[in-house]
Amino acid sequence: MDTPAPTGPDRAGRRRSWRRTAAAAAVTVGAGLLAPAIAPAEAAPALQEVMLVGNNWEGVADVIRSSGTFARIGRVNLVPDKGERLREIYADPIRLVFFLGIRETVGEGHDQYIDDMYTTPDGSAIVVSRPSFGDVASIDTATGRLRWRFRVAGFRADHMAVSPDGARVAVSASTGNTVHVLDIRTGAPVGSFATGDKPHENTFTRDGELWNMSIGDVNNDFDAPWQDFLKGDRKITIADARTLRVVRTIDMRQRLDAFPGGRDFSDAVRPVAFTPDESTLYFQVSFFNGFFEYDIAADRITRVKVLPKNPATSDDRTTYVNDSRHHGLSMSPDGGKLCVAGTMDDYATVVDRATLQQGPLVPAAKPYWATVSGDGTACVISESDADQVTAISFATGRKIVSIPVGDHPQRVRLAHLPAGWTGPTA
């Protein structure tokens, strides 16, 4: 690396000193060859953009191309330490009770091995939240081995988010009512903050905030609108992303009550999508086939979009998976379109943001998440009942392609892995 030449009033004398220093930085090697005394910085590894598909019940992530054909590139076992974790759990009666409770409630009879996942900036590891193990783990992408793990407060880990610089990862401890923030490379805790009941979605904003949405108790059957108050303390908790000090909270119950017809809706905010300028928030709530629009500066709900009901979907709210009627929301990079996963209604659709007019209803088997392709042209949904992911064109609202993946795909995230990577070597 070149040392910058000095400037300022004494620049002539200091230039001479700088030149002597620079000359001394070369040493003779062999027969008259010169090499820098200070080794140049290593070049950053070449990376490829991919998508990670977390197969919740299988514990394996499929890696697919981030656009185009969306073809599968490889797979990574994100529970290489499964045997050790199970031995620990079965040796601890309290942990075992929660482990079996997760299986029979939110797991729908299955253990939950993968909720969310991201790659480190250099692509050398995948960091994953593992609900049934109550931890966050880092898995080496070259060897498939465990690098580090962090036990969250309580007994279950949930949604995550990565800071804009890629250095930190936030994770919801859903039974601990806490958001932990960790160094993504080492797993060292940076800090934490308290939330409402059952923290769920996390989102970092560009202006330095970390938003958490708590959804309350989704496992009881107090699902009728008049029983809404029995679902617990649900709110949006906003923390300073640097200090993790809570700067404000938003009780969406008050905003819904002030909106015409809003009293009949749950205030459990589920997946969200910000506009590109982060002035407007779109959000889904429990039991509802549609979404709301929220003006952040004005602090009020401005519009609601009711999406079609599937005639085959029961109106019995207790049959909805974890209180989710629709669960999955993303926005095109230009802010013009929203993509909605109609979970219990078995479709996905693209909605024009200006008019709120939906496009074709694309049949899908319990779609559980929606994200944006690497090139920004498509919405990618996970079809948890069909074990596949499906890409839908933002421009036409029509299906592009479906790709088979593992057992019960849920979260889908853009990521980066080393160029040429096709799977761990071990």
Per-residue pLDDT at 426: 61
Q: Give me 137's structure tokens.
A: 């783990």
Residue 65, domain member (yes or no): yes
Per-residue pLDDT at 30: 33
Residue type, 71: A
Per-residue pLDDT at 42: 62
Q: At what angle do helices 82-90 and 93-104 cross, to 10 degrees?
A: 110
Per-residue pLDDT at 22: 36
- CATH code, domain carrying 255: 2.40.128.630
Residue 176, domain member (yes or no): yes
Residue 43, domain member (yes or no): no
Cβ–Cβ under 8 Å, residues 336 and 354: yes
Residues spanned by the domain of 213: 49-279+299-322+406-418
Residue 170, domain member (yes or no): yes
Residue 303, domain member (yes or no): yes
The predicted-structure confidence for 230-262, as pLDDT tens digits, reads as follows: 899 999 999 999 999 999 999 999 999 999 999
Q: Quick one: pLDDT band at residue 41, thresholds 50, 70, 90?
A: low
Mean pLDDT of 48-76: 98
CA 60, CA 295: separation in Å to the nearest integer? Answer: 39
Residue 61, domain member (yes or no): yes
Residue type, 93: P
The predicted-structure confidence for 351-365, as pLDDT tens digits, reads as follows: 999 999 999 999 999
Residue 250, domain member (yes or no): yes
The predicted-structure confidence for 256-279, as pLDDT tens digits, reads as follows: 999 999 999 999 999 999 999 999
Lowest mean pLDDT among 1-5, 88-92, 143-147: 1-5
Average pLDDT in the chain: 90
Q: What domain count does the chain have?
A: 1
Please report the DSSP string for 330-385 in residue order. EE-TTSSEEEEEETTTTEEEEEETTT--B---EE-SSEEEEEE-TTSSEEEEEETT
Residue 66, domain member (yes or no): yes
